[in-house]
Structure 1
Amino acid sequence: MKKITLLTFLFALLLTGCAETPNDDTVSTVDAETNAELAEAGPAYNVEGTYDPFEGFNRTMWDLNYNYLDPYIARPVSLAYVDYVPSPLRTGIRNFLSNLDEPANMVNSIIMLDGEQAVTHFNRFWINTVFGIGGLIDIASAADIRKPAEPGFGDAMGYHGVPNGQYFMVPFYGPTTLREGTGDYVDGLYFPLSLLTFWQSLGKWAFEGMEDRAALVSQEAMLKDSPDPYLFTRDAYIQNRNFRASGGELELEEPQDEEYLDDFLDEINEF
């Protein structure tokens, strides 16, 4: 999922600067050590690559999102958009916004050494831009040039060994990590995303977010049935980021005490 970038990046940097200095028997910085070493120095995490030093704060933000912002704002607005906006209009908006990401997907595929996927993103961009009225119509898919995975710069960094870094739960935004926040910021520097104003980027995030939120309604029961929804969400998110950073080659492992995670990961991997 693509989300607005600058706010998350600045928020991550702010919290990083406010972090307490670790004890002598722990690692000193995130950048100097791998996530595995961080996990060994701190709490035992179910999913490799997890580093959640702000769990108390993150749980507070989770409660805000899960108990207030989502049920009273995000969920009803998203369902209203899906239910009342004509499907052809929604499809055109979705196609247009998705087309804006294709150059970034192409560059990130190159960084991840996937030339075939990079060529596919390039072909989709020029075909849909030229023949699909700026991307409103997905001509490429009609020509059997199907959209492959959408790698972000955060995924590319992970592919080359950059750890996830700190995990954050941000109001309205949801889960992210320092690596993903930085990667989203870099993605926003690619053409044509770099041409968007703040408000245009916000609109892109809002429209895509409404579609994604409405699509997850069928998965709400699994979240509610989880013994700890916060850990369920964190583990699912980190596993998904690890999977994307591996180029789809990583075998997803089911964390202990989270029997619902596999189905949830199958669902979110479709976005």
Structure 2
Amino acid sequence: MRRFHGLTALLLVVVLTGCSTTTDPDATNDPAEEFNRGVYAFNEELDTYVLKPASEGWTRVTTSGVRRGVDNFFSNLQAPGYILNDALQGKAAGAGRQSVRFVMNSTVGVLGIFDPADAWLGLEPRPEDFGQTLGVWGANSGPYLVLPLFGPSNGRDVTQYPVAHYTNLMTYIALDTLTMGSLTAINVVNTRARADGAAQLRDDSAVDPYVFTRSAYRQYRQDQIYDGNPPLEDDPYAEFFDEMDSDSNQAE
């Protein structure tokens, strides 16, 4: 549940990636698609009847500044994991920048609620997780998976969750179940509220939201692994639309 916010955070992929490319040698690689679609439908029902109403209520009683501060706070708690994965990927400069961010935001930024590291020094947050680390090391993504509550993933990226658990400071500051549950609920609802526009865009623009999410997730992860500079193919958009056409024809 520590990374439950990933379910809604992924909705931002639609806005962040658009039609960027991927170099996955097997475009679909979704052998458990029927099962995955079932889990996807469950997650969507959970979002429709629980997360979305809760996020709308949260939006009504908070300001955008409060929501940004909450997001900063929980992101800061994950900073030790970012630093570790930067180091494991051989990004000494990245680990150094994340360390400065963490110290500055934890102190001057009042436990990470504010982000003076970005505002004053231009040190933007660069999330790194163990799935990205394995990708940098050359591990194949493996089959596509949709996890209950957590959302899109794959055989490689599921490894990020246990590592994230033990490197997230919330694991150690929330010493009882009630505190952990309360903090997790705030994080989830706040993330869903900030992702509402992306969620609506996906639903309005995608012929098959499942395929759209699958493609967006792969492209987003590829972009993360290559730090925003993934290798291009001859036609960077062909794979995305070919995949959409293939799944649409099967549905008919």
TM-score, normalised to structure 1, is: 0.69
Q: CA deviation at 1:233?
A: 0.8
The alignment covers a number of residue pairs equal to: 218
The CA deviation at 1:139 is 2.5
Q: What displacement does 1:205 show? A: 4.4
1:209 equivalent among 188, 212, 233: 188
- Measured in 1, the distance between the counterparts of 2:51 and 2:242 equals 26
Aligned equivalent of 2:132 = 155
**Could you say which residue in structure 1 is the equivalent of 2:166?**
189
Aligned partner of 2:51 in structure 1 is 74
Paired residues for 1:233-244 under 5 Å: 233-244=213-224
Larger helix percent: 2
The 3 A distance-change label for structure 1 pair 193 and 155 is: farther
Alpha-carbon separation, structure 1, partners of 2:224 and 2:42? 28
Seen in structure 2, the aligned counterparts of structure 1 residues 59 and 101 have a Cα distance that, compared at 3 Å, is: same
Is the counterpart of residue 230 in structure 1 residue 192 in structure 2?
Answer: no
Structure-to-structure mapping, 1:107-146, within 5 angstroms: 107-146=84-123
Q: 1:202 to 1:118 in 2, by over 3 A?
A: farther
Distance 1:186 1:142, change over 3 A: same
Q: In structure 2, what residue type is equivalent to 1:62?
A: Y
Cross-structure match for 2:69: 92
Gaps of 5+ in 2: 6-23, 245-252
Distance 2:80 2:65 in 1: 25
Whole-angstrom CA distance in 2 between matches of 1:139 and 1:225: 36
Alpha-carbon contact 1:232-1:258 (below 8 Å) kept: no
Change (3 A) 1:227 1:92: closer
Distance 1:192 1:69, change over 3 A: closer
- Aligned residues of 2:4 and 2:149 also touching (Cα < 8 A): no
2:42 alignment partner, one of 64, 67, 71: 64
> Aligned with 1:257: secondary structure?
helix
Residues 117 and 148 in structure 1, CA contact (< 8 A), matched pair in contact too: no
Does the aligned pair in 1 maintain the 2:54–2:189 contact within 8 Å? Answer: yes
In the TM superposition, residue 100 of structure 1 has moved relative to its aligned partner by 0.9
The amino acid that maps onto 2:163 is V
Deviation at 1:80, TM superposition (A): 1.7
Structure 1 portions without partners, runs of 5+: 6-34, 40-44, 261-271
Higher relative contact order (CA 8 A, sep 6+): 2
Aligned to 2:166, the other structure's residue is in SS state: coil
Percent identity over the alignment?
Answer: 28
Can you list the C-alpha shifts for 1:4-44, whole angstroms capped at 9, x where unaligned? 49xxxxxxxxxxxxxxxxxxxxxxxxxxxxx74xx4xxxxx
Amino acid at match of 1:137: F
TM-score, normalising length: structure 2: 0.74
Superposed CA RMSD in Å reads: 2.8
Kindly provide the amino acid, as one letter, of the partner of residue 116 in structure 2. I
User: 1:257 corresponds to which residue?
Assistant: 241
Structure 1 residues 96 and 212, CA gap change in structure 2 (3 angstroms): closer
Q: CA deviation at 1:134?
A: 2.0
Cα distance in 1, alignment partners of residues 125 and 242 from structure 2: 29
